[in-house]
A and B are shown apart, each in its own frame.
Chain A
Amino acid sequence: MNDAISSAVSSPRSFGATAFRGLVALYLLTIRQHLHGRRWLVIGLLFLLPAALALMVRFTSSRIPPEGLEFMLAMMLMPQLLLPLVALLYASGMIQDELEDQTFTYLLVRPLPRWAIYLAKLAATITTTAALTVVFTAITFGAIYLGAGIVAGDWMPRLVKTAALHVLAMTAYCCLFGLVSLLTKRAQIVGVVYIAVIEGLLANLPFGIRLITVIYYIRLIAYRTLSYVVATPRGPEDMAAEAWQLNIIDDPQLLLHPSPSTCLLMLLGASVACACLGARICSQREFHVKTPDSP
């Protein structure tokens, strides 16, 4: 081995720049992969569901106020079902799709640390899903409020806050399902069960078990930053408190629940923990890409 190669192999400075450029390329490649193919169509259709429902309700019934529609679609349907499903579809495929397509080899033989491959792909997945979330949340709000006689100044700030909460939820779900995809080959089945049982069922029970769900913290932040009190024939009604099992009669300030900053820290902390654990698993794991005559 000649000296030039020897010094190049061991030079940390030039390697850092090389790896960084490679990771930027991987980040962009992953975004392109996410926005390609049939999955993108499925995601688009899923995300258009709230807007379609909003339009359907508006054209068939005038009794439901826009705020009520917003709550049901943007704070019930989306964070509880659509966001985790979309996160599951994207995050579970970050590595597994490459392995199934046998293209992971092209990444493994590049000067990219494995833990960084995982983090770059996760960052690209979060970026993609976050961008889609913002766009489709805006479309949903548009479908609810445009032409409903409410000035944009009233619902725009709610849209911004809701979109931010959706992005936060999406980030947590992506980190979680990315990790799950490294732990099991049946990540999509495990993910669907998780969404149905943990986020769907347990999060709606007024017990401590909901502390382990993403949706619980999102709801607490939403409850404290957005009002879901809707005028009904029976008078003003707090839809969120009732639907989310928040006991505002005994604890109107929600003092028995985590504060918004704690909720934010919990979600971000859990996301970072999942991402770090995934990166660690990725750096240690041997990815056996099948070849035509491999065992």
Chain B
Amino acid sequence: MTSVVTFHETSKWYGNVIGVNKLTLAIPAGVTGLLGPNGAGKSTLLQLATGQLRPSQGMVRVLGEEAWNNARLNRHLGLCPEQDRFYEWMSGWDFVYTCARLSGLTRSAARDAAARTIDSVGMTKHRQRAIRGYSKGMRQRIKMAQALVHDPQVLFLDEPFTGTDPVARRDLMNIVTSMGTEGKSVLISSHVLHEVQSLTSRVVLLNHGRLLAEGHVREIRELIDKHPHHIVLRCDRYRELAGCLVQWPDVEGVRVLASEGELLVETRSPDAFYGRLPGLSLDDGLAIESVYSDDDHLEAVFKYLVK
């Protein structure tokens, strides 16, 4: 698959502080999640990709062009920045229209694009109100609209769902999904994993400015198989069940969660463990009510990798 954004041995320092550290990464077309805790280097990475920052070392290319200070390239890029800052005195309409004009659209094209984009983020009803009076959700929607107004080929979203209500979150997620469907590329950063996993299974994990892992969630899971998986079993006779489980060679540990009537099992061979479980129920008559694991969940993957 052709890469839309590539980082080659890219580092970015702010004095003694490292923003991004020797990052080599190729992001293909489509929707990609950029995950990491606060301070992981996600915003720095997006600022490098949108040409706002010059790499201290290495190279950043977007759509085959060098990203730093490349006005020509910016026609095809959209950025929804993390900071909640606007020209507060403008109305939502005015802001999006102005951004369209700044992107080089003619007056009539900018009017049409602003109307269409504001409608797509569900802000038509509030478009004439001053931004300073908007709720957090409205501000995020308008910020998304300015990023979309010039119909970019690649969209960079920096924590776009922060502070949004569930309705706004759903609407914004729908926009991201539809952009992916239309063949556009979206790189979306977040430190809230469940937001990203519902949009894409392709993720990049950053921590302390370093690339921790990248690829499909499944591929990442393979990477972390050396870490113990957590599996929770619910059973009435949980203490008896614990006694059986500790004898299994693939079980690393068992913790009793007495208040919930559950056991938390740690294993490095989840497939083997799952394979034995049905036999345990049948042979020993231990009725296991439920089995669940966070290991298919990005949250768990992330927790493992940043440890």
Contacts and interface: CB of A to CB of B under 8 A. Distances in A.
Interface string A276-287: 000000010011
B69 interface: yes
A291 interface: yes
Interface in B129-156: 146, 153
Contacts of A234: none
B104 A105 contact: no
Nearest to A10: B72
A43 to B, nearest CB: 17
A291 B81 contact: yes
Contacts of A102: 81, 83, 85
A5 B63 CA distance: 8
A283 B69 contact: yes
Contacts of A19: 71, 104
Contact of A107 (B43, B53, B102, B158): B102
B54 interface: yes
Nearest to B53: A286
A255 interface: no
B83 A289 contact: yes
A288 B19 CA distance: 12
Contacts of B85: 101-103
B30 interface: no
Contacts of B79: 105, 109
Given A291-B43, A295-B17, A110 B102 contact: yes
A65 interface: no
Contact of B72 (A9, A101, A286, A289): A9
A245 B261 CA distance: 96
Interface stretch (B44-52, B211-219, B235-243, B251-259): B44-52
Contacts of B65: 9
Contact of B4 (A1, A10, A288): A1
Interface string A1-41: 10001101110000101111110111001000100110000
A261 B87 CA distance: 43
B83 A290 contact: yes
A135 interface: no
Contacts of A6: 63-64
Contacts of A287: 52
A59 interface: no
Contacts of B71: 15, 19, 110-114
A106 interface: yes
Contacts, number: 125
Nearest to A4: B153
Contacts of A290: 83
A293 interface: yes
B43 A106 contact: no
A202 B147 CA distance: 51
B103 interface: yes
A292 interface: yes
B173 interface: no
B2 A103 contact: no
Contacts of A110: 71, 74, 99, 102-104
Interface in A188-247: none
Nearest to B87: A103
Contacts of A29: 87, 98, 102
A10 to B, nearest CB: 7
Given A6-B64, A21-B101, A291 B83 contact: yes
B39 interface: yes
Contacts of B72: 9-10, 15, 111
Interface centre among B2, B77, B102, by most A CB within 10 Å? B102
A57 interface: no
B53 A288 contact: yes
Given A9-B72, A15-B72, A289-B83, A26 B89 contact: no
B105 interface: yes
A111 B71 CA distance: 4
Contacts of B87: 29, 33, 103
Contact of B158 (A106, A112, A286, A291): A291
B98 A293 contact: no
Interface in B71-125: 71-79, 81-83, 85-87, 89, 98-99, 101-106
Contact of A9 (B19, B39, B43, B73): B73
A-B CB proximity, top 6 nearest: A18-B104, A25-B101, A102-B85, A295-B17, A22-B104, A111-B75
Interface of A: 1, 5-6, 8-10, 15, 17-22, 24-26, 29, 33, 36-37, 101-103, 105-114, 283, 286-295
Interface of B: 2, 4, 14, 17, 19, 38-39, 43-44, 47, 50-54, 63-65, 69, 71-79, 81-83, 85-87, 89, 98-99, 101-106, 146, 153, 158
Given A9-B64, A110-B104, A112-B71, 4 more contacts: A1-B64, A106-B146, A289-B81, A294-B44
